[in-house]
């Protein structure tokens, strides 16, 4: 620090690792005295500064953070309360997906619907139907969401700009099924037991036009070839074939600068981005006027998968290949047959169903599927099934056959659940005899065990699969087993989410159970190694250290360095995702006409859908306990660095956006954050009065944009700083 000018105040704030100190405390001052000194440091004149040296889990100490404090005080905007104007409207929706402790809620425009800020909780009457009566003044837009017991939004029913609408002149509205918004694109459902979808994780608070820097916006040569190729390829088959040609068409590969023998990692990343947008209906498919049965799609998928087997193995390439494979259709022999999916033809010609249903199946599903299959056919099949499954006058035999066909169609699109995949593997004896006992053991733990035993069973089974993959030949058994492996990783995500909730709750009380934390963490690191999202050598070392600590009473002084090392594994993965995708996802998305929100949140969704996100929550809870046991001040750096701006106080980021304060650079004192917000470009630093996960949406955005971000473990330390700086807030 000797070469930095001006030098920090002798009692400046020092944020080292995930702990906030003052230089006075480092030299022996009492913690209480240092808190007073820290407050005094903030209560200086405009020309003074708060200096903070940050060392986050990502590495060593970075430069001094200086927050110049402006004079004057900002008048905070008054919060609008949900009011009672307009006409009373009863809202009804059917939702079976709530978890224990969750409720369905409605939120929308206008006071009666919470002004898109405060969800109105509905009541089951009876479950799974939910009702609530709200005041609606004129026409209003709204959506449903799921809220936790504290009223915070846990999941939106749909992302994007398509909302439900209601007029204030009606008395009630029956909105059918939760998540089915008229006019909204329907996304392929995730495998059952998988992590939250990108819609769940990224459809958050409405924050105006805040944007994140994501490259120049200009597509490079290869990405432009994808964009142009997509424009010339109308159908799903043609779009898949366009991707296949990069690996097999020498002229096309040369034109795009694509190395067919050793593809560049960035080219694989672009293919992964494109196939993701294609599989989620962000890229529309249309009929091409030709007749190709689904077996053609399956053969294309097999060719792409075989080419991926030959890609030079690096951790990044392995991750991308693992991401691409589930986005391809199945090439099981059931679908490479000359005439696949014949069950729907028999269903369409049944004599025990009404003509309108027969015509709907024949014209909109059977014929379309057999001449030009695409993800939209799964949407059509789900629509037909949802319309008839509860009709009492529709043949039970028809429903049985239609249900079987739905399973076959989901398998073709690789949209089936984990249980179904494992059941099928057990019936077929795949991939080998040793796997049978491990899969049965996993099923036992899945239905009778707890998070720790389930994670252990997942690790054993995935380790066996990993060894089997080394010598297995390309083919349908390999594809099916790989998809089970992906499903197991997704199920491990769910178990780690449960473990994270336990650890976070413990950290708010007497502190975490170190044995439990270390146990679930070592299982998470094992799974990360198997997915090649964590450095194998570092993960092995961390696992060995965790196991050695589990054998005796855990010392916080020993646990804290281990927690910091493990957190670096998580942040390294986050940084790797930014390096892989950040500069190319926006140009590709723009070129394909993808919804801007879907492109903008791609990277953080990639991070937050990974097992390491949940591990970071577990580790952060442990770090909080360790700090408390060591007597360290309760501050955490989500993003280290330097920031300069006018100091301003708001209740939340949403409140700041609503104030429309633009232009000058700001450092914000925030009382609250949902963790789902975007950061406006003129915000250069944030001090938050609450804990926030290291890899939360907001945390990832701060890392992307270089916004210096400090969180307190509670309101008390934040209030000390806020009180001292009261006269300087501008």
Three-class SS of 166-213? ECCCCCEEEEEECCCCCCCCCCCCCCCCCCCCHHHHHCCCCCCCCCCC
**Number of Cβ atoms within 10 Å of the Cβ of 444:** 13
- What does the pLDDT look like over 86-141, one tens digit per residue? 788 889 988 877 766 688 999 998 888 988 888 999 987 777 788 999 988 888 88
**Which residues share a beta bridge with 686?**
668, 709
C-beta of residue 23 within 8 angstroms of C-beta of residue 16? no
C-beta of residue 51 within 8 angstroms of C-beta of residue 65? yes
Both 228 and 347 in one domain: the answer is: yes
Question: In which band, very low, low, confident or very high, does the pLDDT at 33 lie, cut at 50, 70 and 90?
Answer: very low
Residue 273 has φ and ψ, to the nearest 5°, of -60, -45
Q: Is residue 302 part of a domain?
A: yes
d(CA 97, CA 86): 31
Strands ordered across the beta sheet of 708-712: 635-639, 708-712, 683-688, 666-670, 646-650
- What does the pLDDT look like over 495-519, one tens digit per residue? 999 999 999 999 999 999 999 999 9
- What does the pLDDT look like over 588-619, one tens digit per residue? 999 999 988 888 889 988 999 999 999 999 99
C-beta of residue 144 within 8 angstroms of C-beta of residue 105? yes
pLDDT value for 176: 76
**Residue that the structure tokens 């696949």 belong to:** 340
Distances (CA, A) of 527 to 194, 486, 489, 551, 564: 15, 11, 7, 22, 19
**Residue that the structure tokens 């142009």 belong to:** 228
Both 352 and 246 in one domain: the answer is: yes
Instruction: Pick 398 or 136 by higher pLDDT.
Output: 398
Mean pLDDT lowest for which of 124-128, 171-175, 211-215? Answer: 211-215
d(CA 309, CA 304): 9
Both 603 and 637 in one domain: the answer is: no
Find all residues with CB under 8 Å of 31, minimum gap 6, and list them.
25, 631, 633
Both 600 and 479 in one domain: the answer is: yes
d(CA 324, CA 304): 10
Distances (CA, A) of 210 to 113, 213, 562, 681: 24, 10, 37, 6
Distances (CA, A) of 651 to 79, 225, 666: 9, 46, 15
412 pLDDT higher than 90: yes
Both 168 and 19 in one domain: the answer is: no
C-beta of residue 94 within 8 angstroms of C-beta of residue 179? no
Instruction: Pick 334 or 76 by higher pLDDT.
Output: 334
Three-state SS for 108? strand
Q: Is residue 545 part of a domain?
A: yes
Q: What share of the chain has pLDDT > 90, as a percent?
A: 57
- What does the pLDDT look like over 54-94, one tens digit per residue? 333 334 333 333 333 332 222 323 333 234 457 888 899 88
- What does the pLDDT look like over 145-168, one tens digit per residue? 998 877 888 888 876 667 898 876
Of the three residues 626, 655, 672, the one that is the final residue of a domain is 626
pLDDT value for 557: 92
**What DSSP string runs through 543-599?**
HHHHHHHHTSPPPHHHHHHHHHHHHHHHHHHHHHHIIIIIHHHHHHHHHHT--HHHH
Domain tally, the chain: 4
pLDDT value for 174: 72
Distance of CA 177 to the CA centre of its chain: 23
d(CA 421, CA 423): 5
Both 534 and 507 in one domain: the answer is: yes
Name the nearest CA neighbour of 243 among 186, 297, 289.
297
Question: In which band, very low, low, confident or very high, does the pLDDT at 252 lie, cut at 50, 70 and 90?
Answer: very high
Residue 639 has φ and ψ, to the nearest 5°, of -145, 115
pLDDT value for 411: 95
**What's the domain range around 520?**
418-626
CATH number at residue 171: 2.60.40.10
Name the nearest CA neighbour of 539 among 550, 547, 529.
529
pLDDT value for 6: 34
d(CA 555, CA 630): 10
* Mean pLDDT rounded to a whole number for the chain: 82
Both 619 and 705 in one domain: the answer is: no
d(CA 333, CA 295): 9
- What does the pLDDT look like over 566-578, one tens digit per residue? 999 999 999 999 9
Distance of CA 566 to the CA centre of its chain: 20
**Which residues share a beta bridge with 51?**
66
**Residue that the structure tokens 């000390």 belong to:** 720
Find all residues with CB under 8 Å of 259, minimum gap 6, and list them.
253, 267
- What does the pLDDT look like over 265-324, one tens digit per residue? 999 999 999 999 999 989 999 999 999 999 999 999 999 999 999 999 999 999 999 999
Find all residues with CB under 8 Å of 213, minimum gap 6, and list them.
704, 705
651 DSSP assignment? S
649-668 burial: b if 16+ Cβ within 10 Å, else e: bbebbbbbbbeebeeeebbb
**Number of Cβ atoms within 10 Å of the Cβ of 206:** 15
Beta-sheet pairing, 683-688 with 708-712? parallel
Global pTM value: 0.71
d(CA 468, CA 471): 6
48 pLDDT higher than 60: no
Both 435 and 388 in one domain: the answer is: no
Name the nearest CA neighbour of 618 among 514, 499, 701, 730.
499
pLDDT value for 497: 96
**Which residues share a beta bridge with 145?**
105, 156
- What does the pLDDT look like over 517-557, one tens digit per residue? 999 999 999 999 999 999 999 999 999 999 999 988 898 99
Three-state SS for 515? helix
Q: What is the CA radius of gyration of the chain?
A: 27
15 pLDDT higher than 50: no
Nearest 5 degrees, angle CA 367-CA 371-CA 377?
65
Residue 177 has φ and ψ, to the nearest 5°, of -100, 135
Instruction: Pick 730 or 571 by higher pLDDT.
Output: 571
Q: Is residue 565 part of a domain?
A: yes
Distance of CA 665 to the CA centre of its chain: 29
Q: Is residue 81 part of a domain?
A: no
pLDDT value for 303: 98
d(CA 584, CA 597): 15
pLDDT value for 161: 67
C-beta of residue 187 within 8 angstroms of C-beta of residue 280? yes
Of the three residues 377, 400, 415, the one that is the final residue of a domain is 415
pLDDT value for 456: 97
d(CA 626, CA 512): 9
Both 422 and 571 in one domain: the answer is: yes
Q: Is residue 197 part of a domain?
A: no
265-279 vs 236-248: helix axis angle to the nearest 10? Answer: 170
4 pLDDT higher than 70: no
pLDDT value for 550: 94
Name the nearest CA neighbour of 636 among 12, 19, 14, 31.
19
pLDDT value for 125: 73
Q: Is residue 5 part of a domain?
A: no
C-beta of residue 615 within 8 angstroms of C-beta of residue 496? yes
Strands ordered across the beta sheet of 123-124: 123-124, 129-136, 87-94, 172-177
C-beta of residue 329 within 8 angstroms of C-beta of residue 335? yes
34 pLDDT higher than 90: no
Nearest 5 degrees, angle CA 500-CA 505-CA 545?
50
Of the three residues 162, 184, 206, the one that is the final residue of a domain is 184
330 DSSP assignment? P
Question: Given phi > 0 = left and psi -120 to 50 = alpha, else beta, which region is 143?
Answer: beta
Q: Is residue 135 part of a domain?
A: yes
Both 347 and 286 in one domain: the answer is: yes
Both 233 and 364 in one domain: the answer is: yes
Question: In which band, very low, low, confident or very high, does the pLDDT at 29 lie, cut at 50, 70 and 90?
Answer: very low
Q: Is residue 718 part of a domain?
A: yes
- What does the pLDDT look like over 688-714, one tens digit per residue? 998 888 888 888 888 888 999 999 987
d(CA 329, CA 670): 47
Distance of CA 527 to the CA centre of its chain: 18
pLDDT value for 600: 84
Mean pLDDT of 474-483: 98
pLDDT value for 516: 97
Both 223 and 358 in one domain: the answer is: yes
Instruction: Pick 725 or 557 by higher pLDDT.
Output: 557
Mean pLDDT lowest for which of 43-47, 393-397, 659-663? Answer: 43-47
426 pLDDT higher than 90: yes
């Amino acid at each position: 620090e000797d070469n930095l000018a001006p030098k920090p105040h002798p009692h400046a704030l020092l944020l080292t690792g995930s702990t906030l100190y003052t230089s006075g405390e480092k030299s022996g001052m009492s913690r209480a005295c240092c808190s007073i000194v820290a407050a005094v440091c903030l209560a200086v004149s405009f020309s003074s500064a708060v200096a903070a040296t940050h060392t986050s889990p990502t590495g060593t100490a970075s430069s001094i953070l200086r927050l110049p404090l402006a004079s004057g005080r900002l008048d905070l905007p008054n919060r609008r309360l949900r009011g009672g104007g307009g006409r009373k409207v009863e809202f009804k929706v059917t939702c079976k997906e709530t978890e224990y402790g969750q409720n369905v809620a409605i939120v929308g425009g206008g006071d009666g619907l919470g002004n898109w800020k405060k969800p109105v909780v509905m009541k089951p009457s009876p479950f799974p139907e939910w009702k609530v009566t709200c005041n609606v003044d004129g026409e209003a837009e709204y959506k449903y969401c799921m809220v936790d017991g504290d009223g915070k939004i846990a999941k939106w029913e749909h992302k994007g700009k398509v909302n439900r609408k209601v007029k204030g002149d009606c008395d009630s509205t029956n909105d059918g099924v939760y998540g089915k918004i008229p006019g909204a694109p329907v996304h392929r459902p995730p495998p059952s037991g998988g992590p939250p979808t990108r819609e769940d994780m990224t459809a958050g608070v409405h924050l105006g036009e805040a944007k994140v820097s994501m490259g120049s916006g200009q597509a490079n040569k290869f990405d432009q070839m994808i964009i142009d190729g997509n424009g010339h390829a109308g159908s799903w088959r043609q779009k898949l074939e366009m991707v296949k040609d990069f690996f097999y068409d020498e002229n096309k590969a040369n034109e795009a600068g694509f190395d067919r023998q050793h593809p560049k990692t960035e080219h694989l990343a672009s293919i992964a981005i494109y196939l993701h947008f294609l599989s989620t209906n962000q890229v529309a498919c249309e009929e091409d006027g030709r007749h190709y049965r689904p077996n053609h799609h399956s053969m294309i998928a097999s060719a792409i998968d075989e080419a991926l087997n030959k890609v030079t193995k690096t951790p990044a390439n392995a991750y991308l290949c693992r991401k691409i494979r589930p986005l391809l259709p199945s090439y099981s022999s059931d679908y490479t047959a000359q005439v696949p999916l014949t069950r729907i033809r028999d269903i369409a010609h049944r004599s025990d169903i009404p003509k309108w249903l027969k015509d709907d199946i024949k014209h909109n599903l059977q014929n379309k599927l057999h001449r030009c299959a695409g993800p939209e056919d799964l949407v059509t099949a789900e629509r037909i099934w949802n319309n008839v499954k509860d009709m009492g006058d529709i043949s039970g035999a028809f429903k049985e056959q239609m249900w079987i066909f739905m399973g076959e169609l989901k398998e073709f699109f690789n949209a089936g659940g984990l249980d179904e995949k494992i059941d099928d593997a057990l019936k077929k004896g795949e991939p080998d005899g040793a796997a049978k006992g491990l899969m049965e053991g996993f099923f036992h733990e899945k239905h009778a065990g707890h998070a720790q035993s389930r994670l252990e069973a997942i690790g054993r089974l995935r380790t066996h699969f990993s060894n089997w993959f080394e010598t297995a030949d390309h083919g349908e058994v390999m594809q099916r087993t790989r998809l089970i492996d992906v499903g197991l990783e997704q199920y491990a995500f769910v178990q780690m989410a449960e473990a994270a909730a336990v650890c976070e709750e413990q950290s708010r009380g007497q502190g975490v159970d170190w044995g439990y934390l270390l146990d679930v963490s070592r299982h998470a690191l094992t799974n990360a190694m198997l997915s090649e999202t964590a450095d194998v050598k570092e993960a092995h070392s961390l696992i060995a250290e965790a196991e050695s600590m589990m054998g005796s009473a855990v010392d916080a002084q020993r646990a804290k360095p281990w927690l910091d090392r493990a957190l670096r594994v998580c942040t390294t993965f986050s940084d790797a995702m930014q390096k892989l995708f950040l500069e190319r996802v926006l140009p590709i998305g723009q070129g394909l006409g993808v919804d801007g929100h879907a492109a903008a949140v791609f990277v953080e969704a990639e991070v937050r859908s990974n097992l390491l996100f949940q591990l970071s929550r577990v580790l952060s809870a442990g770090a909080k306990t360790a700090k408390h046991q060591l007597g360290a001040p309760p501050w955490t750096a989500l993003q280290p660095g330097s920031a300069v701006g006018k100091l301003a106080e708001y209740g939340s980021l949403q409140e700041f956006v609503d104030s429309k304060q633009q232009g000058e650079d700001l450092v914000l004192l925030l009382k609250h954050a949902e963790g789902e917000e975007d950061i406006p470009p003129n915000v250069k630093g944030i001090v938050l009065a609450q804990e926030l996960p290291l890899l939360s949406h907001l945390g990832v955005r701060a890392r992307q944009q270089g916004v210096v971000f400090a969180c307190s473990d509670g309101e008390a330390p934040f209030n000390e700083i806020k009180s001292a700086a009261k006269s300087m807030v501008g």
